[in-house]
Every structure is written in structure tokens, then in C-alpha cells.
Structure 1
């Protein structure tokens, strides 16, 4: 994965320097006025009189008489050293090495005994709150805050915020409450203790300090910004490119980007990096990022918030403690501690910084709603706690890199902006669905549901033109991102209109039932578009819960035992399962869901083999079609022939997705012929279902699908790609 060249990994002894810390060690103030000496604060009376402290407090500034007397002192005797040096001695810097291919420098901080003496010349962290109440700092806060300044968030209920905004304000009152406050420069950013040699050795043991070759590293970064970043723009694209080109990027951020990039990159790139398969590559970079996080490597809290958010795309096995829920919770906690959920109207932050904060927050908000609906857990973010402004196109205007930078981090297209803004608005509606229909102890509110239904319709009518559904062949086209948006839309509708009982499914005149069936059918059609265009690999992660919801509706329709509707639902369910089979190669959770519905369809139809995960040709589903014609759609009245659509569907027509029941009705003569889609189906026998089923029959089906011994992480993809021989060996 790396070559034999090694680049220095510097472990710096110096903490980040503040203006006061940049002075020489011998510049310690030897004289203080009586007022400053009594208050035990620093005094600059030797530079100006009266000193700053006395001048701001309007008190007399009087010097203290020396207790040692006034006489001419000679130099130190030869051979004598400064008291600090004689007590501690000089500690030299230590250099470690990390395997890499360029001069990308990884910087960590340790503090030696000799340097702690130097740090005594500046304020320690215990003086942070005290410094923030000084009039000089309050006056400076009225000006624009530099982008490099560290910020603290003080909510209204915190007494510290009350003190700053009222008691210590310049005129005794501050009618406009400020929530974000810059940290004084006199309080440098350095931890009490940071990475020591033991920490470094542990990181080296897991490869956390290793980087791929530069060519591979650049390609992974390109994959991330091209396929993943548009869905959740949580980084400063230009700032990242500048730091990366200078070799100053955060190592934790890089390992996290590599973890996500290996999900969508070509397998040939993984082979060049020395990684055996995609799941092993994801695990490798995830472990490295996690080790750096556990070692408290990253000190930039905004960068750390983005990293924690990106780590929420990890979920190794069903009972994994550090799963998506865990990492997203950590991201939410840190984001709220920074005040990203609150308005920055009075914080004097630059528009660039404000826009980045908004993009990060709304990414976290959207993912919170997606995970809450997918896992059936409560939303962590409450709308009443947030007053941050909704995203606009202005929040993306600073994301246009130069031509050189664009080769690495790509460019931002207008449809990327439209997609993310509309996805956030849709997430807000999804949160209302959870509140209305899935709050414990809350009865269904018909009036609120009608208003929400109208808002869904209004959202759809207000979509920008580039988010209308249209054919696509590449993941870099507007149609692909419109497909991702509409998948999320139909998932929200399925959750909103999902029937509560089996009897309600049979009411054909119910508007809600028509909506939920139409959305489930639309998910199958959109999945087909992704399969036929070979772009399913680049789909956003919310496609998995969307397929889960659609399959649940198709299963209910099959359960209703209406021959034609049930057969169509079965075929659409197989199409969704085909998509899950491909996604299981990227995301383990897709394989778990696939096994669930394999068992569901077995019980519903009585077939021994309900779905073949591996195509007969040995080629992966969704391989790039050779034909340059229009995208084939199974729901259209068209004919699929060899060389069009997916590899298996193209060669065998609809037979590759057709149920065994319909195969038996058609006979063996049509098995190798192309199937004209939309032609009338045969009459289904009255006794084609194996057994009577109700909701009780599904009580333990999800747990049954997850029983058995779990293989190591690298083998879990096989759970979805190998059909169990019998129910006795695979319960």
C-alpha cells in the first residue's frame, strides 16, 4: 500500500504560538504596578504608563519598589545557567517516521518540562473565561472575526453568556445577544498533554500514520469529491485543496476520506493499493481513522465535526456498538457544543465560515432524520432548539476551485446545489412524518397529516428544473442526482402513508394506499434505472432504507392474494432485491435486508429459491451496457435484447427477474426468448400460495434472517451473495 520511501513525521515540542508567546524567553516582565500585582495579572507598565489594566479600570498606576534594593548588578558568573535551564535542562525534539511517498507532514504536539516554563509567560486554559470578560476583548469582538480564530458558544441559559452580554458589556447592556465568541489570543490553543511516544507507537501499529502512494491518494480524493461530497458538502473544498497541496491536511480527515472513497472507487484502484477487496479496504481506513480519533489527534473542532459525520457511514454488523447511530450522535454533540445549530447573525463571522457551518449542520440534520426513520429511533435534533438559517445558493458560492485544484477536488455544478438544498427541505418534512405518526403515546392527527400532505405536494411542485426526473447514463449527470432525490421523496411518502393493518391494503379507493403503492412502484423503476445505467454503485446511502420500505409494501401486496397485483408486486420486489444484492457488495446492511426478504418471499410464495443473487454469466449486475441507445425501463412497453440493460436481464429478458410461479405458467419454451414488457400475464392458479400468512407469521422473521455464526468482516458480503442450501443449515 505504500512504498519503501519514508517521510519525516515531526512531533513538535512547541505548542501553537500566540503573539505573547512568540517573544523570547528572557522577556518576562520583572516589574508590575501595585494594582496588577495585587490582582495577580500581567502588567505592561514597562512598555507604557499607566499600564493597560489600570487605564481600562481608571485606577492609579503605581510601581512597586524593589525589595532587593537598588544597586548595579553584574552579569552571572561564568558557567552559571538560567534557573529554569538548570532545573530542567534542554529537551531535544524527537522525530518519528511514517511510510509515505511525498513530504506530507503529520504534526502532533507534546509539551516538555522546559517548554512548560516558557508557556508560563502566557495565560493557561484556566484563564480562558476570565480573559473573555475584559473590556478590550469585548471592544475587539465588535469587529469582523478572522477565519482562523477559535470560537466558543455560550447559550442563553449559560451564566457566562449572560455576564458577557450584559454585566461586562461596554455600556452595561447589550440588547442583541451574541452566541459565538472568539477565544482571546492570549490563551493559546495547546492541550495539557497530547500525543506521546506510546501514542505514536500505537498509531503506527495499526497503520494510522501510513498513507497510500500519492497517485493512489489523489485518485481516492477525486472519487470522494466527485461521488460522495455533493451529497453532503461538509468540507471547504478550496481550503482542503490548498492544505493538501502544501502537505498540511489533517491525517484523520484523509483516512476518513479514503474510507468513504474505497466504497465507490474502481476495484482496479484497490488492487494497485494492495487491498484485496472493497470491504477490507473500508475496514482498513476506518480502523486508522478510529485510532486517530481515539488518540485525540485532531484539535480543530470544526474539522473533527465533519470527520465524525463522515464516520457515521460505517456499520459493520447488526450489533456493532460504534455504528452509524454512535458516530452521528458524536457529531451532533460536538456540533451543538460549537453552536452550529444557532444563528450567527450577531457573531461577526465571515460569509465563508458561516456558509461552511450551515452546510455541516444541515448535513448532520438530514442524516439525523434519515437514520431516525431507518432505525426506528428518536431524532436527536429538535427543531425548536435550532434557529440556523436554511441553506441558499449563496452558501455554495465560495466552492469554485481553480483549474489546478479542480483536477483534485472537482467542480461544483448547479444541480449539486439544487440537490442538497431540496434534500434538506425534504428531511424537514421527514421529521414531521416521524413526529406525527411515530411518536410514542401520540394519537394520529388527521388535521396535521393533511397539512403535511399538502406540504409534500408543494415541495414537489416547487422543485427546480434540474431536479426533474430524466434519463441518465453517468453519475455526473443531473438525472442521477434527481434520481437520488426522488428516492428519498418516495421513502418519506412510504413512511407517511404506510398502512397499519392488512385490511387497509385491500381498500383500492384509499388515497393513502394508492400513494404508498405508487411510491413503492416508483422505487422499483428508479432502481431499474440505476441498474441499467451501471450507476448503482454511486448511489447515496439512503437508497438502502428506501428499498427496505418499498419491499415491505410489495410484500403486503403479495399477501393480499389478488393474482395480477400480487404477481406484479413479486416481480418488482425481485427488482429491488437485485439492487440490494449489488449494494451488499458496498454496504453490509444491504445484505442483511436482502436475507430478510428472501425468507419473506419464501414464506409468501412457497418457492425454495426466491432470488438468485449471483448472475448465471458470472458478471456483476449492472455492468456497463454496450448499447448507446436509450435506457431500457422494465415498466415501459419495450423489448430487452442481448447487449442492452443489465447483463443478465439483457440476455434472458424479464425471465431473469420473473418469479418461479410465472415461469411455470409460461412453460420452458420462452425461457431463452426476449420478453416483451407490458404484455398480458397468464392467469394465476387459485392455489398458487403455499400457506395462509398473517402478521404473526413475520414476528421473528427479521431475527431469523440474522441468526447463525457471523463470519469475519471481510466475508460478510457473502451473506447476501450465496443462497442457503436449506433452512436447517441457515435458519
Structure 2
């Protein structure tokens, strides 16, 4: 029985909430109030279950309307997801209490000086202190988004010298602006037919394709902005061409050239014809669907180039800073976190520094309250940003050799809660995995591909560390099962011919990650050879299909083929295998569907009393009862996979290695 229950003789003590401290901080459902001494979440990870004490604050005053407002604010949603992108998690977790404190202090001051303040002044003060309490969707007005002046820039120099704050607009008059669109720019626009659009039917089809396949990953475009009749001001040619480009990259329409659309949008971007920085940032996000080159080449047309260009414009207008007086805050949040998510993905997959330092941002984490009510893609977008942020943080720690016990456990717990709190419509399996797969959904498959890739990165051996970690932070069984799930999902995508409908995530890297693991798994005798071979063949066929749209996928395929040929000459025979208990909770929401390697986990669960057995965080792993052999061979097999992954990640951290290693890219 918890301390709170003991002190009150089995009755709930006043001030004790129904959720424990750990569950409250993670914003997840807690069953402590059902009479248990510890909730299920704390039991699962051997965490001390402590009831949360709610601090009650006295409010002096007789204005019941104000008190009612304060009480309502305590239940207003400030964070709706268990994970939040960026490094603002602590700020996010305490935002409700901070807002409550601010309002209580406001009401206290109003009560003390009630006779000297008018009703209008009270309402003004109350509005000032409650401006950040509710996260209500504010529909971005078309005229605001389409006419944001270039002069509204963010001047960070005021951080050092307060005297210059607010004088930015005055200083812009000290020297003339650029000449705008030059004659050579106009000639370029005319040569590229930048203002010519496809026929109405094709244009409508491409816009529909954009909102079906692209919008969930970049929820920053309103359909009305693309319509000529939406306002007196015609739609931005750059925005329309960028949307058409993105739509053309997720369809198989042969009557329109994606390259022509890209060249038109690129010409419009560089001609200074577009004066709205918001449109320029959105265009930078959408032009990343072109991406003709991978990280092995330097390109001014790659997603990396457009991503960093967009981040540069965003920081110039202060998109990374949020104030209470800003208009269209929810739209700005969606735009900022769309940029951040792409930055997380690119940085982690390429092993290169981020363009966005989230600790410098004051933008609140993205939540479903930042979307229009009823938006079917809100949950997908929020969870996409969250898993991308986890992916990036794990990649950064690996590249810097900074994986510690507590950090590794933190990442593992983040992933556990991310997959557990995933909405029902985005899950692969029913709530009871034994009931099998849920109805097919492309968005859910894409999110789970990212999840399984992050698991592989989490469970591989860290590089550049000063020594082996005190606890087992890598798992061969976790690597193989996650890679097999990725292959199973891509098999569905191949059958449905939806490979080219995928979002802008780094799927070539995702396939490379799974392929490397499956290559090494083929040397182990814990699974039938046909199962591993089929999974690896799916990875290669998926890359070939990607190459139909993105030729850089051939470089990834070539890497796997070279590794396959070189490893065939090595004689590695392993008859034993170990399954770590730390792996099981991360696959608790899944079943055998889509995964040929699932028997590895089934064999592990047979060695436990229950599936949700509390993992031993300080020990290694346990022997599978169905395999017996030499322990030395087990260690050798584990290191075989880990060393290959370590070499690959080391090369990814060195951008030049992709170019200089002619043995990989020859032929």
C-alpha cells in the first residue's frame, strides 16, 4: 500500500490526485485509483509509484466568475500527447501549473485593489495572464499568410542591447532595398514558363494527391490558398507550383513532368518574385520532394539544401520565437515543427549536425489543439514530429559517444510510451495483439517504419565510447525483429504499389538500416534461411522501386549488394542466441503479423511468467531455451551485427566518407 493510503487508513488523502507522479509527468492513463498499491506502468519498469500531491492555492476575492475561470483553466488541455518535440519537455510538463499560478496571482492582486480598478481594467489584466492557457486553433486568415511583409524580421541583437529593441523597422530605411526582380530574372521566368500551369483536370488531381499523401507531414497549406476565387489577390505562383511538384512526386501520372514543375518553382524562388517569407518557407518544405541526390553527393537541389534554406528564412522572421502578441500562433507552430521534424530526420539519417537547435526555440510543443477541430491528420502529424525528435536525439548521442545508462533507459522509456499512447487509428494491431492486424492504413505503416528504425538504432552497439556500457544497451533479437517488421511493412507497400506514395522521410536510410541487420541475421541459425532471405529480398525490391522515382536509391542498393558479396565469404556459424528482457515491452503492442522473425520473441516470452514481465534493467540477457550451444559463439554473433552497424554509422557521421570510398560507389 502506498504511503498516502497508509497515512489515511486506506482512504484517499485530500490533495492526492488519482494519477501517480510518473504517469502525470508522462501525461498517460494511470490505474492507481483502482485500489492498487502501484499502478501497472510503475510495476512494468520497477519504478516507485508515488501518488501526486496537488498543491492547492488560496484565492482571495469575492468575484466568483474569476474563480470559475481559474477552475476551468485547470482542466484546459495544454498538452495532449505523451511526447513533445524539441527540448521543451520540462517547460511543457509544468505549463499548466505555471499558468495556474500566474492567474491566481492576477486574481489576488485584483481582489486587493478591487475598489480602484474598473471592470474594463480587470478584463484586460485577466486576458493578459490567461493568453497562453488555452491552446485554441486560430484559423490563419488568408490575407495574413499571403501578405506577411518581409520587413517583419527577428532581430536577436536586442538580447545584448535592450536599447535597440523595436528599432529594426526604422533601421531598414537607412539603406535602399534590393531592386527586386531584375530583367534577367524575368527572362529566366519566361524561359522556364514559370507562370504556366497544367490543365484544370491535372492541376486538381495533383492538388488532391498532395493533400492525400503529403499534407500529413507538412500540415501548413490550406486548399483555399490555391484557388483563384478565394480572394481578390491571386494565389502565389510559387506556392501553387511547389504544391503541384509535391503532388506529382507521390503519383504515377505520366502526363506531367515533375522536373518541369521543379524548375518552375525553383525559378520563382530565386527570382525574388515572391515577397512573402511564409510562402518561401513552405516552398522550401515542398521542394524537398524533388531530392535528386543522396548524402553521397553535393547538390544544390537536394532536400538538405532546401531544408537549411527554409530554416534560415524561418529564423530571420523569428519563427523560432513565440510571443503572446503574435497572430496565427497555431499555424506558426505547425510550420516550425514541420521544419524541425524534417531537420530531425535528415540530421539523424545523414549523421550530420542539425540546422535547428531546439533549445534556442520558445515555440511550444506541437499538439492536436494546434490543428483545426476534426482534422483527420492531426494525430499523425503530432506523432510524426515526436518519433522524429526521439530518432534525432538517439542519433546525436550515438554520434557523440554519449550514451549513458540513464540516457539509454530514458530513450527506451520514451519509445515505450510513444508506441503505447499511439491513437487507435494509427496502430498496426488491435488493442489485444492476439486479435491480429487492424485494417490497412498507409499513415500508420509509415509511422511504424520510423519506430522500428529507431529501435534498431537504439539497440545497436554505441560507437566512440570510452568503454562498454555497464548495462546491456544492445540487443540482437531486437535488431532482427525490428528489421523483419520493416520488411513486412514494405512487402505490403510493394503489393499495393504504394512505395512512391510515401512521405518525405528518409526511407532509403530506413531500408539500408533494415538491410544491414538482415544481412547479418542471415549468418545466424535461429531463423529459417528462407525467412531471412525473403525479408532481405523485399528490402532490395523496395529500393529498386524507389529508384524509379529517386535514382539515389541505387546507391543504397549498391551498398547492400557490396556488403552481401563480402559477407558471403565469411564463415560464421552460430547455433545459439540470446533474447534480452529489455526488448519485450517495446514489442508488446504487436503480434506475429508482418514479422517473420517473431518466433525469436515468442521463444523469449516462454521463458517468462508473463508477457509484461518487469525487465531487469541492470542485467544482460537470458538464454533461449530452444537453442543451445557455445556461449562464446553467441557473443561473437552479437558483435558481428554490432560491428557492422557501428562501421556504417561511423561512415554516416563523416559526410566525406560517402564520396571518397570508391569501393562502395564504384560500378
TM-score by length of 1: 0.53
1:365 pairs with one of 334, 340, 344: 340
Counterpart CA distance in 2 for 1:332 and 1:426 is: 20
Q: Partner residue of 1:516? A: 479
Counterpart CA distance in 2 for 1:207 and 1:632 is: 50
Residue 421 in 1 paired to residue 382 in 2? yes
CA deviations over 1:261-289 (Å, ceiling 9, x no partner): 221223xx433x4xxxxxxx222222222
Q: How does 1:22-37 map to 2 (within 5 A)?
A: none
Q: Partner residue of 2:251? A: 265
Q: Partner residue of 2:393? A: 432
Q: Secondary structure at the match of 1:152?
A: coil
1:418–1:464: 8 Å Cα contact kept in structure 2?
yes
CA deviations over 1:43-91 (Å, ceiling 9, x no partner): xxxxxxxxxxxxxxxxxxxxxxxxxxxxxxxxxxxxxxxxxxxxxxxxx
1:343 pairs with one of 318, 322, 326: 322
1:262–1:270: 8 Å Cα contact kept in structure 2?
no
Counterpart CA distance in 2 for 1:149 and 1:247 is: 13
1:239 pairs with one of 217, 225, 233: 225
Q: CA distance change for structure 1 residues 296 and 488 in 2, over 3 Å: closer, same or farther? A: same
Tell me: higher relative CO, structure 1 or 2? Use CA pairs within 8 A at least 6 residues apart. Answer: 2
1:558–1:567: 8 Å Cα contact kept in structure 2?
no
1:530–1:536: 8 Å Cα contact kept in structure 2?
yes
1:449 pairs with one of 391, 408, 412: 408
Counterpart CA distance in 1 for 2:494 and 2:197 is: 34
Q: CA distance change for structure 1 residues 548 and 247 in 2, over 3 Å: closer, same or farther? A: farther
Residue 383 in 1 paired to residue 346 in 2? no
Q: Partner residue of 2:162? A: 162
Q: Secondary structure at the match of 2:409?
A: helix
RMSD value over aligned CA atoms? Answer: 4.2
| Offset of residue 604 of structure 1 | 2.8
Q: How does 1:694-713 map to 2 (within 5 A)?
A: 703-704=661-662, 707=665
| Offset of residue 240 of structure 1 | 3.6
Can you give the 5+ residue segments of structure 2 that lack an aligned partner in the other structure?
A: 1-127, 132-137, 431-438, 571-591, 599-639, 652-656
Which piece of structure 1 moves more, 578-587 or 199-208? 199-208
1:539 pairs with one of 482, 487, 502: 502
Q: Partner residue of 2:330? A: 355
Counterpart CA distance in 1 for 2:504 and 2:355 is: 20
Q: How does 1:96-135 map to 2 (within 5 A)?
A: none
Counterpart CA distance in 2 for 1:270 and 1:249 is: 26
| Offset of residue 299 of structure 1 | 0.4
Q: Partner residue of 1:554? A: 518
| Offset of residue 258 of structure 1 | 2.1
CA deviations over 1:593-629 (Å, ceiling 9, x no partner): 112212222333369xxxxxxxxxxxxxxxxxxxxxx
Residue 282 in 1 paired to residue 258 in 2? yes
Q: CA distance change for structure 1 residues 243 and 594 in 2, over 3 Å: closer, same or farther? A: farther
Q: Partner residue of 2:125? A: none
Q: Partner residue of 1:39? A: none
Q: CA distance change for structure 1 residues 596 and 245 in 2, over 3 Å: closer, same or farther? A: farther
Counterpart CA distance in 1 for 2:658 and 2:219 is: 38
Residue 297 in 1 paired to residue 276 in 2? no
Residue 460 in 1 paired to residue 423 in 2? no
Q: CA distance change for structure 1 residues 362 and 596 in 2, over 3 Å: closer, same or farther? A: same
| Offset of residue 487 of structure 1 | 0.8
Bigger radius of gyration: 1
Q: Partner residue of 1:45? A: none
Q: CA distance change for structure 1 residues 292 and 324 in 2, over 3 Å: closer, same or farther? A: same
Q: Secondary structure at the match of 2:245?
A: helix
| Offset of residue 244 of structure 1 | 6.5
Query: Where is the helix percentage greater, Structure 1 or Structure 2?
Result: 2
Q: How many residues align?
A: 438
TM-score by length of 2: 0.58
Q: Partner residue of 2:453? A: 491
Q: Secondary structure at the match of 1:212?
A: coil
Counterpart CA distance in 2 for 1:203 and 1:242 is: 21
Q: How does 1:246-261 map to 2 (within 5 A)?
A: 248-261=234-247
Counterpart CA distance in 2 for 1:518 and 1:229 is: 31
CA deviations over 1:559-600 (Å, ceiling 9, x no partner): 5x5374665333311111111111111222222211221222
CA deviations over 1:99-129 (Å, ceiling 9, x no partner): xxxxxxxxxxxxxxxxxxxxxxxxxxxxxxx
